C-alpha cells in the first residue's frame, strides 16, 4: 500500500469562536487517527528524525508500537527519554527538528511526530500516569535553580539516576516560561501541572518563593549540595528604546503574558491581577512570543490586533503554525514597518505609534536582509495597547550575586561543552547559557547537563 | 505558607504585621522589599521591609490599606497564613559612614525608613530624622526612630503634632541654618520625594529615594516596575528600589502608578471593600 502523502489533519476550534475564549486551539488526534498517522511511518533504517530531537526520543520505536496498537508500550518508550511529552508535543518546532528530517518529506508531508507525541502523552495522562519506579539512591544531592523547561528536565533525569534533587523556584508556580509565557490556548496550565507532578513523583522536591541570588546564594547551595544546576532563563525584557515607551498602555511581552497567563488576568476580578487591553493593540516583533501576544490581545478584548515588524514574512522568526493561527484569527500584519515613537494623550495614556516604512538591504550577520528606513515615510497608527516582544536577555539575578560565575556578551553564563560554568560543580543550561531560544533546546540542555552532573558526581567519589 | 505571628493597628488604615519567613529574615537588609500573594486568586504585591528579626525568623511589614489586596491583608488575623512570601528583593541601602545623614519619612514611608536609620546610626553617622504625616494619628514609629536618632523633627500637615507644614520645609530650615548635610534619604509619597529631591538638588546634596512602582514578579522578568532614571529605563525590582533622587523621572512614576486605578476600584467594589 503506498504511503498517504498528507499528514492527517488535526481538528481545531473555529477561529471566530476561539478568539473569545482561552481554551486550547487544536483538539488533538483520536486513537484511530493517531494509529493511522503512525502507520505512515516507513521505519527507515537510518532514523533521521532522531537526529533532529534535542532530547533524544526514540521516535521510530514509539511510532512502531503505536502503529501496532500498543499504546501503553508506545507511551513508555516515549517517556523513557522525556518527562514532559505533552508539553513538547504542543510547543516544539517539530517542523525544524524531527519532522524536518523525516524521509517522507521527499514525497509529501512528514509523519506528524509532534501530533503523535501529543496524542500519547494525553492518552497516558487521561488514563492516569503510572508512578515511575524510583532508582536506587546514590546519596548525592543536587540543587536545581529554576523550575522551567531546563531545570525540570535536568531534575527529572537526575532523579531517574538516583540523585536527590531539590528545585528552587523564585515564583509561586512551576514551569517558568511554560507557565508565565505560553498562553493557556496553546499550552493548558493543567497539563504543565500534570507533567510537573510526574517529575515530583520521580522524587524531585520543588521549593517555591526562593529567589536564588537573594533568598539563598549559589555559594550557600554548594555548601549543602554536591552540585548545582542553574536554569534561570532569559527573563529580562528588551526594549525598543524609542520615546514614549513608559506610557500607560505599553507593556513588555513578559509583563502582559505573565499577567494574563500566570496571574490569570483573563479571570479578573475573580483573580486579582488586572491587565487592561483597549480596542486597538499592536505587538512589536514577529517571533513566537509576539504571536502569543497578538492572539492573547484579541482574547482580552482587542477589536484590532496588529503585528508590526520591520522585515517581511519570510524573515519572521515565529513558527509557521503560529503565524497561520494568528492570521486565521484576524491579526493584521504591518510588515516592513518600524516604530519610532509612542505618542500619549495629556494623561500619559498611549494613543498612537509613529512608524516608518522600511525596505530590505544587504544581508546582516544573521544572514537576514537588513531593514533600512525609507526617508520621509513616517505615518501613525492609532493604538491604545502596545506589546513589546523583541526578545529577552538572560536574567541577571544569579550572575550578579556570584562574581565567579563568568558571563558573556549578553549576560549569559559561560559554560563548557559539559554545561559546566566557570565554577566547578555549578552547571547551567537553557536560555541563561545560550540566550533566548526554544523550550525544547532548554530541555535538551537540561538533559545533557544531567548527564554531565552525573559524571561529575561519580568522579568526585 | 507564612504565618502571621503579630498584628498591630497603627492607625485606621495602617497595619503592622510580623510574618514568619525564616529564609527571608536570614538575609533581609535595610532598604529591601518582599513580594507576597495572599491566596490562589491573589495578586503579587511588593511591600518594603520595615524590620527583620533573624533569631525569630520574622519579617515586619507595615502597609496602608489602599487597594484590594492590602485591604484583604488587613482583615487577616494572627495565626492566619499567607500563601506566598518571597524575598528579600532589590538592592539593600548602602550603609556606610557618611557623616551627617538626614532621614526623611512621610506617612507610611516612615516604616521602610526605620531600618535604614538604625543601620546608619550603628555605622557611626550623625542621624537627623524628619518625620511627616497628615496628622498626629497617622504618625508612626516615632519612639523607635528616636532611639537611633541624634535629632528628630516632626511635622504634620494640620499641625496636630510638631510643626505645621511639610518635611521639605523642615529640611530647608536645616539647610538655611547652615547645617552640613552629607546625604539625605527620602521615603514617602512620590510627590514628597520629588519635592525633597528638588530642594537638595539646589545644594548638590546626594539624595536617595525608595520607589514603589507596580510590580508583578519582582525578579526582573516583567519590566512592569520600570522607572526612568537618568534618562534610562531601570527596573525598581532588581536595580532599585532605591535610586538617586536627582535622576528619577517622578512624573513618569506617578503616571505609571495610576495604570490600574479603574480596575482596582472595580475589584474593591466587587469584593465589597471601599477605597
Say if the Cβ atoms of A210 and B259 lie within 8 Å.
no
Please answer whether residues B106 and B257 qualify as being in contact, where contact means their C-beta atoms are separated by less than 8 angstroms. Answer: no
Report DSSP state, residue B1: -
Q: What ipTM was assigned to the predicted interfaces of this complex?
A: 0.92
pLDDT digits (tens, 9 = 90+) for A240-275: 999 999 999 999 999 999 999 999 999 888 888 889
How close B225 gets to chain A, by Cα (Å)? 10
Angle between helices A149-160 and A439-460 (to 10 degrees): 40
Q: Does B3 touch chain A (CB under 8 A)?
A: no
Q: Average the pLDDT over A306-323 and give the result.
A: 94
Please answer whether residues B105 and B188 qualify as being in contact, where contact means their C-beta atoms are separated by less than 8 angstroms. Answer: yes
Residue B273 confidence (pLDDT): 60
Measured between alpha carbons, how far is B227 from B209 in angstroms, rounded to an integer?
12
How close B81 gets to chain A, by Cα (Å)? 15
The position carrying cell 495597547 is A385
Q: Does A214 touch chain B (CB under 8 A)?
A: yes
pLDDT digits (tens, 9 = 90+) for A377-419: 999 999 999 999 999 989 888 998 999 999 998 889 999 999 9
Please answer whether residues A392 and A236 qualify as being in contact, where contact means their C-beta atoms are separated by less than 8 angstroms. Answer: yes
User: What is chain B's pLDDT, residue by residue, as a tens digit (275 residues)?
Assistant: 999 999 999 888 899 999 999 999 999 999 999 999 999 999 999 999 999 999 999 999 999 998 889 999 999 999 999 999 999 999 999 999 999 999 999 999 999 999 999 999 999 999 999 999 999 988 999 999 999 999 999 999 999 999 998 999 999 999 999 889 999 999 999 999 999 999 999 999 999 999 989 999 999 999 999 999 999 999 999 999 999 999 999 999 998 888 888 888 877 777 666 54
The partner residues of B235 in beta bridges, in order of sequence, read B226
Measured between alpha carbons, how far is A34 from B151 in angstroms, rounded to an integer?
79
* Secondary structure in 3-state letters for A350-368: EEEEEEEEEEEEEECCCCC
pTM value is: 0.93
Hey, of A146, A166, A172, which one would you mutate to test binding to chain B, going by the most B CBs within 10 A of its CB? Answer: A172
Measured between alpha carbons, how far is B42 from B104 in angstroms, rounded to an integer?
32
Chain A residues touching residue B69 (CB < 8 angstroms): 272
C-alpha cell at A218: 549559589
pLDDT classification of A276: cutoffs 50, 70, 90: confident
Show Cβ contacts of residue A197 under 8 Å, excluding neighbours closer than 6 positions: A129
Q: How many CA atoms lie within 13 A of A448 on its CB side?
A: 21
Say if the Cβ atoms of A255 and B27 lie within 8 Å.
no
Out of A216, A264, A274, whose CB is closest to B23?
A: A216
How close A286 gets to chain B, by Cα (Å)? 19
Residue A435 confidence (pLDDT): 84
Show Cβ contacts of residue A190 under 8 Å, excluding neighbours closer than 6 positions: none
Please answer whether residues B188 and B106 qualify as being in contact, where contact means their C-beta atoms are separated by less than 8 angstroms. Answer: yes
Pick the residue from chain B with its C-alpha nearest to A393.
Answer: B221
The position carrying cell 484579541 is A298
Residue A366 confidence (pLDDT): 78
Q: Does B265 touch chain A (CB under 8 A)?
A: no
Measured between alpha carbons, how far is A222 from A403 in angstroms, rounded to an integer?
15
Stretch 241-260 of chain B: residues touching chain A, C-beta under 8 Å: 252, 255-256, 258-260
Higher confidence at residue A347 or residue A453? A453
How close B128 gets to chain A, by Cα (Å)? 31
Say if the Cβ atoms of A252 and B224 lie within 8 Å.
yes
Show Cβ contacts of residue A148 under 8 Å, excluding neighbours closer than 6 positions: A175, A176, A177, A178, A231, A232, A233, A430, A442
Residue B275 confidence (pLDDT): 45
Q: Are strands A385-388 and A280-284 parallel, antiparallel or unpaired?
A: parallel
pLDDT digits (tens, 9 = 90+) for A14-57: 999 999 999 999 999 999 999 999 999 999 999 999 998 988 99
Please answer whether residues B46 and B31 qualify as being in contact, where contact means their C-beta atoms are separated by less than 8 angstroms. Answer: no
Q: Does A171 touch chain B (CB under 8 A)?
A: yes
Out of B41, B220, B228, whose CB is closest to A235?
A: B220
Q: Does B57 touch chain A (CB under 8 A)?
A: no
Out of A214, A258, A276, whose CB is closest to B222?
A: A258
pLDDT digits (tens, 9 = 90+) for A426-446: 999 999 998 888 899 999 999
Q: Average the pLDDT over A166-172 and give the result.
A: 97
Nearest to A6 by CA among A111, A129, A161, A160: A111
Say if the Cβ atoms of B83 and A258 lie within 8 Å.
no
Q: Does A360 touch chain B (CB under 8 A)?
A: no
The partner residues of A352 in beta bridges, in order of sequence, read A343, A382
Say if the Cβ atoms of B263 and A247 lie within 8 Å.
no
Residue A461 confidence (pLDDT): 65
Chain B residues touching residue A246 (CB < 8 angstroms): 226-228, 233, 252, 255-256
Measured between alpha carbons, how far is A404 from A137 in angstroms, rounded to an integer?
31
How close B52 gets to chain A, by Cα (Å)? 14
Out of A180, A215, A396, whose CB is closest to B23?
A: A215
* Residue B144 buriedness (CB in 10 A; 0-12 / 13-18 / 19+): middle
Amino acid at each position: 500500500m503506498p504511503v498517504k502523502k498528507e499528514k492527517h489533519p488535526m481538528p481545531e476550534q473555529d477561529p471566530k469562536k476561539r478568539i473569545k475564549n482561552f481554551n486550547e486551539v487544536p483538539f488533538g488526534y483520536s486513537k484511530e487517527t493517531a494509529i493511522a498517522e503512525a502507520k505512515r511511518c516507513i521505519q527507515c533504517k537510518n532514523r533521521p528524525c532522531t537526529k533532529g530531537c534535542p532530547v533524544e526520543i526514540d521516535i521510530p520505536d514509539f511510532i512502531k508500537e503505536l502503529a501496532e496498537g500498543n499504546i501503553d508500550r508506545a507511551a513508555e518508550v516515549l517517556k523513557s527519554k522525556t518527562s514532559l511529552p505533552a508539553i513538547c508535543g504542543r510547543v516544539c518546532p517539530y517542523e525544524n527538528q524531527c519532522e524536518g528530517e523525516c524521509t517522507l518529506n521527499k514525497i509529501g508531508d512528514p509523519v506528524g511526530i509532534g501530533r503523535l507525541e501529543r496524542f500519547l502523552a494525553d492518552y497516558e495522562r487521561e488514563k492516569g500516569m503510572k508512578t515511575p519506579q524510583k532508582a536506587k539512591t546514590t546519596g548525592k544531592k543536587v540543587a536545581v535553580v529554576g523550575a522551567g523547561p531546563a531545570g525540570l528536565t535536568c531534575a527529572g533525569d537526575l532523579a531517574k539516576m538516583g540523585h536527590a534533587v531539590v528545585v528552587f523556584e523564585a515564583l509561586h508556580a512551576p514551569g517558568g516560561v511554560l507557565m508565565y509565557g505560553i498562553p493557556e490556548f496553546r499550552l493548558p496550565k493543567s497539563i504543565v501541572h500534570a507533567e510537573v507532578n510526574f517529575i515530583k513523583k520521580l522524587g524531585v522536591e520543588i521549593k517555591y518563593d526562593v529567589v536564588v541570588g537573594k533568598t539563598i546564594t549559589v555559594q550557600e547551595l554548594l555548601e549543602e549540595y554536591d552540585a548545582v544546576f542553574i536554569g534561570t532563563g532569559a527573563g529580562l525584557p528588551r526594549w525598543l528604546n524609542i520615546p514614549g515607551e513608559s506610557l500607560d498602555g505599553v507593556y513588555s511581552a513578559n509583563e502582559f503574558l505573565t499577567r494574563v497567563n500566570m496571574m490569570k488576568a483573563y479571570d479578573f476580578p475573580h483573580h486579582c491581577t488586572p491587565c487592561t487591553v483597549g480596542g486597538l493593540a499592536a505587538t512589536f516583533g514577529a517571533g513566537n512570543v509576539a504571536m502569543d501576544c497578538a492572539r492573547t490581545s484579541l482574547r482580552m478584548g482587542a477589536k484590532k490586533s496588529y503585528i508590526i515588524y520591520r522585515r517581511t514574512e519570510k524573515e519572521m522568526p515565529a513558527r509557521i503554525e503560529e503565524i497561520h493561527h494568528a492570521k486565521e484569527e484576524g491579526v493584521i500584519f504591518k510588515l516592513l514597518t518600524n516604530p519610532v515613537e509612542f505618542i500619549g494623550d495629556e494623561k500619559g495614556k498611549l494613543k498612537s505609534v509613529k512608524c516608518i516604512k522600511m525596505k530590505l538591504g544587504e544581508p546582516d550577520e544573521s544572514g537576514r536582509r537588513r531593514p533600512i528606513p525609507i526617508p520621509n515615510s513616517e505615518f501613525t497608527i492609532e493604538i491604545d495597547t502596545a506589546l513589546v516582544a523583541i526578545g529577552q536577555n538572560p536574567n541577571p539575578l544569579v550572575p550578579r550575586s556570584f562574581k565567579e560565575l563568568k558571563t558573556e556578551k549578553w549576560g549569559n553564563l559561560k559554560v563548557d561543552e559539559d554545561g559546566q560554568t566557570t565554577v566547578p560543580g555549578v552547571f547551567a543550561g537553557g536560555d541563561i547559557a545560550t540566550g533566548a531560544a526554544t523550550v525544547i533546546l532548554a530541555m535538551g540542555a537540561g538533559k545533557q547537563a544531567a548527564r554531565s552532573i552525573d559524571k561529575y558526581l561519580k568522579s568526585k567519589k | 505558607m507564612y504565618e502571621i505571628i503579630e498584628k498591630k493597628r497603627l492607625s485606621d488604615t495602617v497595619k503592622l504585621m510580623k510574618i514568619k519567613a525564616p529564609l527571608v529574615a536570614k538575609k533581609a537588609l535595610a532598604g529591601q522589599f518582599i513580594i507576597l500573594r495572599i491566596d490562589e486568586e491573589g495578586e503579587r504585591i511588593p511591600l518594603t521591609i520595615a524590620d527583620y528579626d533573624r533569631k525569630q525568623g520574622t519579617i515586619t511589614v507595615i502597609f496602608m490599606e489602599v487597594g484590594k489586596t492590602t485591604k484583604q491583608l488587613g482583615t487577616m488575623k494572627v495565626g492566619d497564613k499567607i500563601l506566598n512570601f518571597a524575598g528579600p528583593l532589590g538592592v539593600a541601602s548602602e550603609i556606610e559612614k557618611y557623616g551627617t545623614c538626614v532621614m526623611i519619612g512621610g506617612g507610611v514611608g516612615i516604616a521602610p525608613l526605620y531600618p535604614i536609620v538604625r543601620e546608619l546610626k550603628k555605622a557611626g553617622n550623625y542621624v537627623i530624622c524628619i518625620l511627616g504625616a497628615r496628622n498626629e494619628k497617622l504618625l508612626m514609629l516615632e519612639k523607635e526612630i528616636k532611639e537611633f536618632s541624634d535629632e528628630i523633627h516632626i511635622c504634620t500637615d494640620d499641625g496636630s503634632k510638631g510643626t505645621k507644614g511639610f518635611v521639605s520645609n523642615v529640611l530647608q530650615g536645616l539647610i538655611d541654618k547652615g547645617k552640613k548635610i552629607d546625604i539625605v534619604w527620602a521615603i514617602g509619597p512620590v510627590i514628597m520625594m520629588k519635592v525633597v529631591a528638588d530642594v537638595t538638588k539646589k545644594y548638590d546634596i546626594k539624595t536617595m529615594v525608595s520607589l514603589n512602582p507596580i510590580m508583578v514578579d519582582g525578579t526582573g522578568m516583567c519590566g512592569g516596575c520600570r522607572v526612568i532614571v537618568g534618562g534610562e529605563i531601570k527596573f525598581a525590582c532588581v536595580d532599585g528600589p532605591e535610586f538617586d533622587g536627582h535622576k528619577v523621572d517622578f512624573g513618569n512614576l506617578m503616571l505609571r502608578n495610576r495604570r490600574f486605578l479603574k480596575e482596582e476600584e472595580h475589584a474593591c467594589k466587587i469584593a465589597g471593600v471601599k477605597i
